Amino acid sequence: MITGIGGISRSGKSFLAQKLKESLERDGKTVSVLDLDDYVFLEKDIPLIRDHIDWEVPESIDWNRFLEAITKAEEIFDHVIVEGLMVFWNSSIRALYNKLIFIEISRDEFMHRKQSDLRWGKEPDWYVEYIWDSYLKYGQLPDGMDMDLTLDGELSFDIEMIFRGIFDVS
């Protein structure tokens, strides 16, 4: 089974993926979590915007390598959880998902969370705004795509309820 978790940066995708992994493993399943961020091209091969590396466009992702990693993981693990900003953008990868989860947060909450995120140093304000714009362009749910679960990333996640609901277990 392959589950896709999408949403804007800092919405809780990685946290949720890890918690679902822990719940599935407690249930005796083997699980692989694949983070789309791990499949970006080398910095020298990523487009620039205003002399800044543009991580926020589909051209920054090695989609073939990502697709290969998902299909290989599916052969080995009971569950594969795929998470990232653009996990629903590529139609070939999107077709692999059995379960779909989308996490929403408001623009204001994103700005607050992103401006306090210093993992890669302080991002320029214009770039934080650009991340939001890229999310609106590449990270949204495609038309006609039905989510199994849409979560409010501004609220605490009830992991057990999500686990039971998404994986149909009691």
141-to-5, 6, 12, 56, 90 alpha-carbon distances in Å: 11, 8, 17, 16, 11
58 close to 52: Cβ distance less than 8 angstroms = no
Q: How confident is the model at residue 118 (pLDDT cuts 50, 70, 90)?
A: low
Please report where in the chains the tokens 């607050």 appear, as a residue: 112
Q: How confident is the model at residue 165 (pLDDT cuts 50, 70, 90)?
A: confident
Model confidence pLDDT, tens digit, residues 27-55: 999 999 999 999 999 989 988 888 888 88
Most confident of 45-54, 81-90, 160-169: 81-90
What's the chain's average pLDDT?
Answer: 90
Supply the angle between the helices 107-115 and 125-134 in degrees, to the nearest 10. 140
pLDDT at 69 over 90: yes
| Global confidence as pTM | 0.91
CATH class of 2-165: alpha beta
pLDDT at 120: 67
Question: Can you read off the two tokens belonging to residue 63?
Answer: 């989609």
* C-alpha span between 154 and 71 (Å, rounded): 32
